[in-house]
Structure 1
Amino acid sequence: MTAAGPVVVAHLSDLHLGAHDRRAVESIAEDVARARPDLTVVTGDSTMRARTGEFRRARALLAELPVPLLTVTGNHDLPLTSWRRVLRPYDRYRTWMDPDLDPDRKVLGLTALGLQSMPRWRWKNGRVSARQAARVIRVLGGAPDGDLRLLALHHPPLATGTARILGRDRLLDAIRAARVDLVLAGHTHVPDVRVPVPGGPVFVVAGTSVSRRTRRDIPCSWSLVSVHRGEVVVRERYLREGRWHTGRVVTVPSVQ
Structure 2
Amino acid sequence: MGIERRFTYESFQRWRRPFELGFWPVFAVVNTAFNGVIAQMDNRSIPPWAPWVWEVSSTIMILALLPALIAALRRWPIGWETWQQNVPRHVLCSIVFSLIHVEGMVLLRKLAYIVEGDHYDFGHWWVRFGYEYLKDVRTYFSIIAGISFYRFWVMRLQGEARLLDEPDVGPPLEPVEQPERFLVRKLGKEFLLAAREIEWLQASGNYVNLHVRERDYPLRATMAGIEARLDAQHFVRVHRSYVVNLDFLVEIEPLETGDARLLMRDGIKIPCSRRYRAALRERFGQAATA
TM-score interval (norm. to shorter): under 0.3
Structure number with the higher helix fraction is: 2
Higher strand share: 1
The structure with the largest alpha-carbon Rg is 2
Tell me the TM-score normalised to structure 2 length: 0.23
| Higher RCO, Cα 8 Å, sep 6+ | 1
TM-score after normalising by structure 1: 0.25
